[in-house]
Amino acid sequence: MSSLDARLLSAHGRDDRRALVALYEEAADEAENETARGFYLTHAFVFALELGDSRADTLRARLHEMGRI
């Protein structure tokens, strides 16, 4: 298991949604293909929306650029 996977699991276990936004965005940045990138960005976006986090705007823009919104 990678360090990022372990941090994601830990954040889920703590229900730390702020951390999940950052971690899923990090995973998207490290993704090897566009499908995985879209998956991780979508998760980051949903958590950001739930929190009312300002990062949602940037995440939405990234998904839009990918043709996913």
Residue 46 φ then ψ, to 5°: -60, -45
Residue 60 one-letter amino acid: R
Domain limits of the chain? Answer: 3-65
| Chain segment 13-63, per-residue pLDDT in tens | 999 999 999 999 999 999 999 999 999 999 999 999 999 999 999 999 999
pTM of the entire predicted model: 0.94
Residue 66 φ then ψ, to 5°: -85, -5
pLDDT of residue 53: 98
- What's the sign of the alpha-carbon dihedral 11, 34, 55, 60? negative
Distance between CA 10 and CA 60 in Å, rounded? 25
